């Protein structure tokens, strides 16, 4: 600290005392400001970084969510159509109805359905069967980028030789799907209750 004159007999001594007190206060305030300014730059840098990164991160999350929603819509549409094709048949054009199912099938399910088509054609023709399915609801039980499992509720009105006025039937199907060449195809279909 600078030397202070010890004159107490006049204005000069009082002025010097006040000046020293003011300097001490300024040093204290300056020290506080130095502590504040030490944190100011990192805080501003962090705020700038967050304002640059956060919108990008949120944009990526929104895009990913949009992709998942689009995929889920494609999965549900494929499962609904397969269930409708599977529960709708007419003995007068069963070959076409069977092809509709086969066009949406793959793997062992496709092979099993193809192997049974000739027997089913005879059975449907003999009984003069007509079935018109109606999808009530569908929900994804599990899905990822390459496969999915969907539960589908279907009502159907079936007419045949034994029930010429028609008979209501309710089906609950589990449709397992896989993504092949950009299309969701049924790899398995099971009745589940």
Q: What is the CATH number of the domain that holds 79?
A: 3.10.450.50
Pairing of strands 167-180, 183-191: antiparallel
Parent domain of 104: 57-191
29 falls within a domain: no
184 falls within a domain: yes
pLDDT of residue 96: 96
Each residue's pLDDT tens digit, 86-115: 999 999 999 999 999 999 999 999 999 999
pLDDT of residue 1: 47
Distance CA 190, CA 74 (A): 20
Question: The whole model's pTM is what?
Answer: 0.70
174 falls within a domain: yes
pLDDT score of 144 more than 90: yes
10 falls within a domain: no
Each residue's pLDDT tens digit, 168-177: 999 999 999 9
C-alpha distance across the termini of the chain, in Å: 93
Q: How many domains does the chain have?
A: 1
Distance CA 184, CA 74 (A): 7
CB-based burial, 68-79: b 16+ in 10 Å, e otherwise: eeebeebbbebb
């Amino acid at each position: 600290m600078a030397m202070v004159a010890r004159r107490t007999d006049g204005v000069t001594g009082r002025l010097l005392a006040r000046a020293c007190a003011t300097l001490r206060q300024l040093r204290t305030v300056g020290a506080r400001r130095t502590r504040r300014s030490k944190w100011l730059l990192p805080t501003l840098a962090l705020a700038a970084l967050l304002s640059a990164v956060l919108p990008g991160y949120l944009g990526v999350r929104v895009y990913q969510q949009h992709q998942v929603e689009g995929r889920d819509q494609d999965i549900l549409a494929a499962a609904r159509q397969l269930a409708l094709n599977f529960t709708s048949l007419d003995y007068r054009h069963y070959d076409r109805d069977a092809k509709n199912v086969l066009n949406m099938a793959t793997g062992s399910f496709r092979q099993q359905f193809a192997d049974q088509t000739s027997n089913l054609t005879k059975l449907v023709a003999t009984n003069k069967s007509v079935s018109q399915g109606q999808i009530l609801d569908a929900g994804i039980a599990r899905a990822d980028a390459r496969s999915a499992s969907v539960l589908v509720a279907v009502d159907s009105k079936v007419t045949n030789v034994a029930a010429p006025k028609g008979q209501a039937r309710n089906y609950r199907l589990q449709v397992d799907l896989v993504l092949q060449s950009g299309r969701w195809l049924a790899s398995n279909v099971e009745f589940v209750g």
